[in-house]
Structure 1
Amino acid sequence: MASSASWFCSLLALFLVFSGTYGQLSPNFYSLSCPTLLSVVSDATSQAILAEKRMGASLLRLHFHDCFVQGCDGSILLDDAPGLVGEKTGFGNVNSVRGFEVVDAIKTKVEAVCPGVVSCADILALAARDSTVKLGGPTWTVPLGRRDSTNANLSQANSDLPPPFANISGLIAGFAKKGFTAREMTALSGAHTIGFAQCKNYRDRIYNDTNIDPVFATNLKSTCASAAPGTDAKLAPFDKQTDLVFDNKFYDNLANRQGLIHSDQELYNPGGTQSQASVVSQYRSNSNTFFNEFAAAMVKMGNIAPLTGAAGQIRLNCRVVNS
């Protein structure tokens, strides 16, 4: 009788683990409930990038900005509503994060085949991976089973998203707060091998920083005036060499003092700390090292405080909490 009870408890424990009750994510979470999920998200992400290649960087950034604010829970997708203040107006998000309509489109396609099953947070995680791959970067297995939050945190969006003017000590501390080492922080920063930044985020660097290539700065000044708010939204690529290809050229730029924003260049500053310069040099010289460590860091990031089991909900519309 005792052995039967033990056997039953073991089976129950195994069931609870795979059902998410213990908060564990699994790559196979939707293998029965939504077996076509991966192909649906991949196809929809491909269509979005085909329509606008820059969208790949935007989807990757959405996942990052989601996970760094109260965990990977889809909170960044919520619109302001009565009784709910979203995160979209946070300093690091306002007039900057984009791709919400693409997430809506992916969600619609997923709902068509698996209604009420897949979270918006999981869609973000998959779209970030697929975007990276489609732009030439590494792949990784995405653990799944996240659920969506029913609230957002504007205050944390303002405090926890790394600002473009951060120094190296601030960057290391900010990433450490989320459980990352300085090396993992440098790997994740390599996401800036794709995408663009607005003039308002690099203006101070090109006019006031000393750790910058003067020709690089002069070229940027032609479209980003020192005191002209009208140029705030002017875009420049993070990686001036291959702005729409996920590779390791970002680290070349840093070594040449051509990082677009101050916080990126802080990873390689001959006039200051050298704590990350050796890591930058390793990634610069070996793309496989960068790809492998970036992929591992992305899996780790996707595991920041996910809601699982009975926590949260599966939002039917990623922008609003279920009524």
Structure 2
Amino acid sequence: MRTILITGGAGFIGGNFVHFLMEKTAVRVVNLDALTYAGNLDTLAAFNNEPRHIFIHGDISDRALVKQLLTEYAVDAVVNFAAESHVDRSIDGPAAFIDTNISGTFQLLEATRAYWLSCAAAKQAAFRFLHVSTDEVYGSLGATGLFTETTPYAPNSPYSASKAASDHLVRAWFHTYGLPVLTTNCSNNYGPYQFPEKLIPLILLKAQRGEPLPIYGDGGNIRDWLFVGDHCRAIWRVLEAGIAGEVYNVGGNSERTNLEVVDTLCGLLDELLPDSPQRPHAQFKQFVSDRPGHDRRYAIDASKLQRELGWQPLETFESGLRKTVQWYLDNPAWCARVMDGSYRGERLGMEQ
């Protein structure tokens, strides 16, 4: 049985990837998560009694712990989701992003390299370290064009700068030490189990309560939206067939302005909650001052992944958003438990 070490596997994308592995494959999952505010064991509750899922509460910065897990479970691959990931939080408190995204990635790479060097030649050749990153490292696009794997890095927030640094570390460990790494840079994810500081779950929960729906600036900032299930399929495909040292961009081919996202979401709520006293939910839209350094447009060219590895998204934005809204409506208890007082939907990212 292959064993994969997942870091950050109680978070949004990592947790969805654990679900994918447990439901679609036969691998054993060793799940390491520090359980910061966005890590949630409720996301993993379905696997509490599943011997193929081993949860460890710990930090990627703990090099001794990571090396122990790699050795004890004879790990065949590492997939690194562990990261501080919210731009607004990085504006208010950048130190945690430097600690986790840069220093933590360094410690994880070093622990993995030491373990990899101890493996037999055949296991070394098959081993992979997959680093999950973001399109935000590329900066902001103009009205046209797409980010490719060769787009120069130009990060504009503490978050994206810290992720850019981690990407460079991963690249260096391949070119300097030969560690067989893979990097994926994805566009904006959405779907089940997303912490409600991000746009879609935040708007969804506020709209149901009849609270103001904050839209930054003029609402014209554009993102390429990727359903998290499609992203999980892409990560698995890259892990299976990606070439060591290569970078693969993952996008949903679904560009939307923030205003379009909010309007579509409100329309779905109107349809799915016909008896809601808040209808029409769009009445609560409120334009607020933009956040500092807010990139205007991101868009991903995922043609390399499609051409070389045969992946493409299965969900349109409309089908994926409908699944997402329905999941949140069906899981109010999950939403209530994650809103435990550490975050109540307040405005973040105002520090200048």
TM-score (norm 2): 0.24
When you count helix as a share of all residues, which structure comes out higher? 1
When you count strand as a share of all residues, which structure comes out higher? 2
Larger RCO of the pair (alpha carbons < 8 Å, separation 6+)? 1
